Amino acid sequence: MSEAHPYIPNSAPRVMEEMLREIGIRDIEALFADIPESIRKDSTLRLPGSRSEMETGVQVSGLLSKNISTRDVISFLGGGVWPHYVPAAVDEIVSRSEFITSYTPYQPEISQGMLQSLFEYQSMVAELMEMEFANSSLYDWATALGEAARMASRVTGRNEFLVPHFMQPDRLGTLKTFCEPAGIKIVEVEGDRRTGTILQDELQRKVSSKAAGVYIENPSYLGLLEPNARRIGEIAHEKGAMFVVGVDPLSLGLFASPGELNADIAVGEGQPLGNHMNYGGPLLGLFACRGDRLLRQMPGRLIGMTTTKDGKSKAFTMVLQTREQHIRREKAVSNICTNEALCAVAAATYLALMGPRGLERLCKTILANSNYAMRELGKLNGLKVPIFDAQHFKEFAIGFDGVRLTCSDVNAALLQRGIQGGNCLHDQFPELGQSALYCVTETHTRESIDRLVEAMKAILEGQ
Amino acid sequence: MPYRQARWEEPLIIERSSEGKVGFSLPDVEAYTTGIPSELLRQRPPRLPELSETEVVRHYIRLSQENYGVDLGIYPLGSCTMKYNPKILDRVVATTKLQELHPLQDNGSVQGILRIFYELSQWLTEIVGLSKVSLQPAAGAHGEFTGAMIMRAYHKKNGDLEKRDELIVPDSAHGTNPASAAMAGFKVVVIPSGEDGCVDVRALRSSLSPRTAGLMLTNPNTLGIFEADILEIARLVHEDGGLLYYDGANLNAMLGKAKPGRMGFDIVHINIHKTFATPHGGGGPGSGPVAVTKELERFLPIPTVECAGGKYYLDFDRPDSIGKVRGYWGNSSVLVRAYAYISMMGQDGLTKVADVSVLNANYLAKKLSKIRGLELPYADKLRKHEFVLSAAKMSRETGVTAAHISKRLLDFGIHAPTVYFPLIVDEALMIEPTETVSKQDLDEAAEAFSKISTEAYSTPDIVRSAPNSTAVSRIDEARASHPKTMKLTWRSDT
């Protein structure tokens, strides 16, 4: 306790003495005298000894350098977190210490910067989704879906939630965890084996007057656009269920928005909007809805635009807080408090840089690259590319049964050639046989795709 | 201490838009020509702003200047632990070796990050005195939900869930506690605090029943007082077959001093963004790992991070697990910062954190309680990391309320305390200085409070009309939330 610590100014011995004198106690231990001795004993932390800043930097960077990132190899992994380019300007904005070292904007007058940024984020997400309202973030797509199902159940007073068979596994898992204590039953609707789309007959059969919501992912987990999305929404609405649409927001530069599909609730993953993959977190849960009835049941912080009391300037503040835990406690619509605000600022900056033209161009670039990959891989004998006969966006499934190889064999062989293949689908969807989900974005060059095709060719030829 | 925040009167970014501009460039590729069925296409382009990069950057940099953060000054929001975030933490995560890692990469290519996860998990279990941790929850409340689900799974496994449907929460608890308990399907039973601001053991005893699933508690509690009866409380809850949940929001003062596991807690969540110095980002991302006893390990979310033969891996084969609580494995860039922080601080540094956070709180409490109109309820008790003042006397005598004081503090460049919480103190001002402020900061804060008190008793309108040094003056909250005037997007506005 003799030396001052760089982050603890009052650890300087003379300062500390002065403060103790002021309080009227002899030593710091006296401040802990109210903790029972049986708890105090054995409170020593068996941790490594302290390190200097320099040593810490070297140590942590050294550990991280053992990772092989998607920049070190060519990677075709996607499936819920995707490699996209993050403009330097986005990283710069979210490194601003005024943003990064602030708390939830409980004091709006001194937090206008964060509040206006989040209001703009809400506006841009609402524009992109063509929904009436968007909140200022949830943790990720998976938890946003869990919240959506619970919200649909609260609003309709019903307890079944219908989901597509070909669904992303973490989202399905999280949905189940969120729904179980609320007594909401998850009902799976089969997909068409040829097109991968939802079987309408089966949906008709399964959606009943107990259905709180019908959920689709568009593009789906397996990368394809749902051609019957509007009809699925109609079926849900005919039965009085909410229509919930999950999206990759980048696809909305070109493809139909949840609003156009008549969704009541829209969710999605905001990571592609200027957020790095970071090994899967933090992510950014998008959440939007329409209509006052749903708004009052919406989870998460909401920022509103108003004016100062003197009416002279516009101003921003958190609104409808009576939905939230700190006011409503056990009757709150959700327990969420800390969210992903900084990731939302990244998304706002990203969307402002892109604009409608940039976003459309990005979509077309992704389509061009992914279709090029599908076309070239499809030329290889025995490979089924894509498995489904449908319009794909940036991901597609490849079937290996025709070449009598397992997905993990293919991936191991690819890895030897400096390529991370797509993630294997067989465990979750045995009916697809040996198969993998490939992701191609604007970060992939023609050369990198050609290298994949050459490597795949060599592997298929047993080289 | 003059303070003046930037006041840019920055328009909405959509108002700066002009057609044809773009702030982003892409490599040239051959256009995609295959016809896409029109029913799949969007009918109208999204109405996003059209701006150059320069304009976008200026807009958001200006907005950042209208935002107050820890790097600008003292931020004594009670229960939020707004400590300084060492800059090295931001630097170590700004690498493609983390940022460009995909969560589904094969184990062999992510040994570095998995080792960090593994060691961090071990350190956290050591700090809280429990057996195993899950790093997955994205925030404190998410950790609470995860913990409550673990409680649920435990009682279910014992065939008890049908009858054990009540979670007990003190009236002084953070709002997330009852909300998380309800979300996990429990009925919330609120028990009143005793005369000393702590859990009333008699009230607890009468609330315990065969229906009790457990008790959620924070210790030190939200008054900053250590629950001295904690061992008795734990014994009673356990004897009744319940589990004890520790809300880690107030862990800062306990580092190296007392472990929640030793206090008898079975499940603990840790607010990484509070105790372990990771920046709060204006509301997030945070991280809320959950630690449990040996007995409850089997219920942790999938996957867990394991090590065998020097190789680190994710273990999905956990049949009793509560399942997934989110996508993937955790808020990695937050967790790596915490790893760097703990590694740098070590046992000595962390104990010093607890020492000085408590010293600072008691020092400031003593100074502020002498100020006219302010009172420190439960004055004979020691405080830990935070304390709660009551401005009830000032409010009665001058009409200046806790809310007014909090707004006036902003004019001095001091972020307001948490106000009107906990609910058991009238006109509450909840103050947590943290260990990272200097004595000079504390003296200046005390001086600001003193000046506000003088103003309250002489020229109260100055206090009631504050703030005036911030980017905007007092906000029309009624207009913000009124159904007729509420604006949640610019869609209906421009």
If asked whether residues A223 and A299 sit together in one domain, one would say yes
Residue A61 in any domain: the answer is no
Q: Which domain holds residue A185?
A: 88-350
The answer to whether the CB atoms of A57 and B92 lie below 8 A apart is yes
Distance set, CA A381 to CA A412, B286, B474 (Å): 20, 48, 70
Integer Cα distance of A105 and A100 in angstroms: 12
**Does A177 map to a domain?**
yes
Per-residue confidence at A403, pLDDT binned at 50, 70, 90?
very high
A37 domain-assigned: no
Predicted pLDDT of residue A323: 87
* Residue at A49 is within a domain: no
Which residues in chain B are contacts of A339 at CB distance < 8 A? 139, 283-285
Bridge pairing between strands A435-439 and A395-399: antiparallel
> What is the residue-level pLDDT of chain B in tens, covering all 494 positions?
579 999 999 999 999 999 999 999 988 887 766 689 989 999 999 999 999 999 999 999 999 999 999 999 999 999 999 999 999 999 999 999 999 999 999 999 999 999 999 999 999 999 999 999 999 999 999 999 999 999 999 999 999 999 999 999 999 999 999 999 999 999 999 999 999 999 999 999 999 999 999 999 999 999 999 999 999 999 999 999 999 999 999 999 999 999 999 999 999 999 999 999 999 999 999 999 999 999 999 999 999 999 999 999 999 999 999 999 999 999 999 999 999 999 999 999 999 999 999 999 999 999 999 999 999 999 999 999 999 999 999 999 999 999 999 999 999 999 999 999 998 999 999 999 999 999 999 999 999 999 999 999 999 999 999 999 999 999 999 999 999 999 999 986 54
Can you tell me the distance from the alpha carbon of A243 to that of A213, in angstroms, rounded to the nearest whole number?
6
| Same-domain status, A297 and A168 | yes
Give yes or no for A458 touching B (CB within 8 A): no
Please tell me the total number of residues recorded for chain A in this structure.
463
Number of residues in chain B: 494
Going by C-beta distance under 8 Å and a sequence separation of 6 or more, which residues neighbour residue B13?
Answer: A120, A348, A352, B49, B51, B56, B59
Phi and psi torsions of B291, nearest 5°: -110, 145
Name the closest residue on chain B to residue A301, using Cα atoms: B283
pLDDT band for position A1 (cuts 50, 70, 90): very low
Residue type, A88: A
Considering the domain architecture, whether residues A229 and A201 belong to the same structural domain is answered as yes
**Do the chains contact at A39 and B231, CB–CB below 8 Å?**
yes
| CB of A307 less than 8 A from some CB of B | yes
Are A288 and A374 contained in the same domain? no
- Residue B34 has a pLDDT of 67
Which of A279, A334, A361, A427 is most worth mutating to test chain B (most B CB atoms within 10 A of its CB)? A279
In a shared domain, residues A332 and A378: no
Residue A448 lies inside a defined structural domain of this protein: yes
d(CA A275, CA A350): 9
CA angle B62, B63, B66 (to 5 degrees): 100
* Distance (Å) from the alpha carbon of A205 to chain B's nearest alpha carbon: 25
Residue A89 at interface with chain B, using a CB cutoff of 8 Å: yes
Average pLDDT of the residues in A364-390:
96
> Which member of A46, A69, A168 has the closest CB to residue B126?
A46
Same domain for A360 and A291: no
B53 CB neighbour count, 10 Å cutoff:
17
Contact B331 A35 (CB under 8 A): no
Residue of B nearest to A303 (CA): B488
Residue A2: predicted pLDDT: 56
Does residue A69 lie in a domain region? no
Burial class (CB in 10 A: 0-12, 13-18, 19+), A113: buried
A413 and A451 co-located in one domain: yes
Same domain, A382 and A269: no
CATH number at residue A189: 3.40.640.10
The pLDDT value given to residue A328: 86
Q: Tell me, yes or no, if A378 comes closer than 8 A to chain B by beta carbon.
A: no
Q: Is the dihedral of CA A219, A223, A225, A229 positive or negative?
A: negative
Distance from CA of A78 to the nearest CA of B (A): 8
Q: Is B381 in Cβ contact with A127 (below 8 Å)? A: no
C-alpha to C-alpha distances, A446 to A75, A360, A369, A449, B28, nearest whole angstrom? 13, 20, 7, 5, 11
Q: Which of A350, A367, A391 is the last residue of a domain?
A: A350
Calculate how close chain A gets to B395, using CA atoms only, in Å. 20
3-state DSSP call for residue B363? Answer: helix
Q: Residues 176-195, chain A: which have Cβ within 8 Å of B?
A: 176-177, 180-183
Mutate to test the interface with A, among B356, B367, B440, B474 (most CBs of A within 10 A): B356
Which residues make Cβ contacts (< 8 Å) with residue A206, sequence separation at least 6? Answer: A162, A187, A189
Q: Tell me how close the Cα of B458 comes to any Cα of chain A, in angstroms.
A: 24
Mutate to test the interface with B, among A37, A72, A110 (most CBs of B within 10 A): A110
- Which of A3, A10, A22, A290 should we substitute to test contact with B (largest number of B Cβ atoms within 10 Å)? A10
Q: What does the pLDDT read at residue A277? A: 98
* Residue A344 and residue A371 in one domain: no
User: Which residues touch B97 (CB under 8 Å, ≥6 apart)?
Assistant: A61, A64, A65, A67, A69, B112
- Under the banding of pLDDT at 50, 70 and 90, the label for residue A3 is confident
Mutation test of the interface with chain B: which of A59, A103, A302, choosing the one with the most B Cβ atoms within 10 A?
Answer: A103
CATH number of domain containing A381: 3.90.1150.10
Question: A34, B381: Cβ pair inside 8 Å?
Answer: yes
Chain B residues touching A139 at Cβ < 8 A: 138-139, 142, 326
Closest chain A residue to the Cα of B25, Cα to Cα:
A358
The pair phi, psi for residue A342, each rounded to 5°, is -65, -35
Q: Does A313 touch chain B (CB under 8 A)?
A: yes
Contact of A4 with chain B, judged by CB distance below 8 Å, is answered with no
The DSSP symbol for A431 reads: G
**Residue A39 touches chain B, beta carbons under 8 Å:** yes
| Chain A residues within 8 A of B26 when measuring between CB atoms | 358, 361-362, 365, 442
Transcribe B190-201 into DSSP letters. EE-B-TTSSB-H
Is A43 within 8 Å of B262 when comparing Cβ atoms? yes
Q: Which residues of A touch B259 (CB under 8 A)?
A: 39, 42-43
Partner B contacted by A261 (CB < 8 A): no
Rounded CA separation A109/B466 (Å): 10
The alpha carbon of residue B106 is apart from the nearest alpha carbon of chain A, in Å, by: 9
Domains, chain B: 89-344 (3.40.640.10), 352-479 (3.90.1150.10)
pLDDT digits (tens, 9 = 90+) for A181-213: 999 999 999 999 999 999 999 999 999 999 999
Q: Which of A323, A350, A377 is the last residue of a domain?
A: A350
Give the whole-angstrom CA distance, residue A332 versus residue B106.
40
- How many CB pairs below 8 A link A and B? 705
- Determine the pLDDT at residue A42: 86
Distance from B239 to chain A by nearest Cα, in Å? 19
Token couple for B475? 């906000």
Identify the closest residue of chain A to B66 by CA–CA distance.
A113
pLDDT digits (tens, 9 = 90+) for A214-260: 999 999 999 999 999 999 999 999 999 999 999 999 999 999 999 99
Chosen domain end from A350, A378, A403: A350
Q: Do A279 and B410 touch (CB under 8 A)?
A: no
| Helices (runs of H) and strands (runs of E) counted in chain B | 16, 12
Q: Is A14 on the interface with B (CB under 8 A)?
A: no
Question: Is residue A265 domain-shared with residue A120, that is, in the same domain?
Answer: yes
- Considering chain A, what is the average pLDDT of its residues? 96
Minimal Cα distance from B33: which residue of A?
A368
Q: Are residues A219 and A148 in the same domain?
A: yes
CB pair distance less than 8 Å for A139 and B149: no
Residues 6+ apart with CB under 8 A from A237: A243, A262
Give the Cα separation of B103 and B331 in Å (integer).
11
Same domain for A324 and A187, yes or no, is yes
Q: Is residue A22 part of a domain?
A: no
A50, part of any domain:
no
Number of domains in chain A: 2
Partners of residue B88 in chain A, C-beta under 8 Å: 53, 56-57
Q: Which residues of B touch A80 (CB under 8 A)?
A: 327-328
